[in-house]
Amino acid sequence: MSGFSSPHTLMVQGTTSDAGKSILVTAICRILARHKISVAPFKPQNMALNSAVTADGGEIGRAQAVQAEACYLAPSVDMNPVLLKPNSDIGAQVIVNGTAIGNMKATEYHAFKPQLLTEVVQSHQRLQQQFSAVIVEGAGSPAEINLREHDIANMGFAERIDCPVIIVADIDRGGVFAHLLGTYELLSVSEKARVKGFVINRFRGDVSLLEPGLDWLTARTGVPVLGVIPYLTNLHIEAEDAVNQQQKNAGNYQQLKVVVPLYPRASNHTDFDVLRMHPQVDCTFMKEITEFCGADLIILPGSKNVQGDLQWLIEQGWDEVIKRHLRLGGKVIGICGGYQMLGHWVHDPDKIESTAGSSAALGLLDMETTLMDDKCLRNVSGYLCDSEIEVKGYEIHAGESRGPALETPLFQLIDEGGKQRYEGVRNSDNTLLGTYLHGVFDHPQLLAELLGWAGLTQTERFDYPAFRDQQIDRLADAVEAVMPLSLLSALLDLEERSAV
- What is the distance, to the nearest Å, from the Cα of residue 53 to the centroid of all Cα atoms in its chain? 12
Residues 6+ apart with CB under 8 A from 56: 76, 77, 98
- Choosing from 179, 236, 397, 438, which is the catalytic residue? 438
How far apart are alpha carbons 238 and 165 in whole angstroms?
Answer: 24
How far apart are alpha carbons 134 and 138 in whole angstroms?
Answer: 13
- Choosing from 325, 336, 397, 443, which is the catalytic residue? 336
Amino acid at 221: T
How far apart are alpha carbons 91 and 287 in whole angstroms?
Answer: 22
Is residue 385 part of the annotated active site? The answer reads no
Task: Classify strands 425-426 and 432-435 as parallel, antiparallel or unpaired.
Answer: antiparallel
Is residue 376 part of the annotated active site? The answer reads no
Q: Which positions are catalytic?
A: 336, 438
